[in-house]
Structure 1
Amino acid sequence: MEKINHAFEKMKMLVGMEMEDEQQQPAIEDGNSFSFMDDFNRHCTLTTKQRFYGFAICLVAGLTCTLLSILVFFHPIKFGITFTFGNLLSLGSTTFLIGPKRQVSMMLDPVRIYATAIYLASMIIALFSAFYVHNKLLTFLAIILEFGALIWYSLSYIPFARSMVSKIMLACFDTEF
């Protein structure tokens, strides 16, 4: 049991979770912070074990939906729904590890804001075109945009990849046509 607790502590340090005792209810501040995210974070009190279970379940469900979407690839509307739902579950899985407030603040970081905006917009467009428009071509184009935005969003979390993408973009736009 000691080894498991030690492994949990190492994982908490790797993902950036606070090292405070998560069994206790977080103390309510002096009342000068009444934002929605602070209030929401205050009510999200899960143990480390529950966080890892939530992360694993959400991630496996998201990856399963994403992989199962390949089975309905030739039906763009069904593909768009399952692919986007899988992406939402996978994106939500990290919220279990780092908490909703930190997840949102990381997504809105100036380095990632454009990637986040395009990624979320492409998911909304894909779902809108699948549910309301029922246009296969528009849904397929939205899925292509969503896939590209997913790659960009994922790479925006890796400092080396960010620098490589910015160097490639500068090289592409620096040449004169």
Structure 2
Amino acid sequence: MTARRFYVVGAKLAPVGYDSEDIALKVAREMGEGTAVVDTQATPYHPMVRRIQNGEPMFDAVGAWPTRRAPEQNLIEAAKTGSSAIVAAFVAAFVAAGLDVNARDANGATALIWAVARRVPDCVKLLLAAGADASARDHKGKSALDLASAKGQDAIAALLRGAGPGNHC
């Protein structure tokens, strides 16, 4: 499997990758309202996501980051956005490229820990399904479950507790 530049992400959060922006936008229009096209190589500070609204692709207010500088950090940056469409696209790109979904930032936090911090259950589900380690701890010794519990995020804490053996719970 090869990582693609553009990912079309519909309501079921099952991204499909394309090399051509035109084809990705055509597919998104066919899928209908709310469908997102994520450009995983967008220019920094330029909108990264377009959603279909009234049949036309409209930019979301999520800016890109320098995706080529540190590819192993892209999933963490995606999780920081709190956008399930962006996380779905970068999970697909990471899996296709054989990159580690458990990469860490300078503080030892993983994309899963950031998804919990952003309080987005769909992002947590996507990362767990991709093999994110629910028991991973940051440099302060805190896990995603510790963070969810401390923030009163009961639904997310339940997801983390229910993670399968491959997720180290």
The TM-score normalised by the length of structure 1 is 0.25
Tell which has more relative contact order, 1 or 2 (C-alpha 8 A, sep 6+).
1
TM-score by length of 2: 0.25
Q: When you count strand as a share of all residues, which structure comes out higher?
A: 2
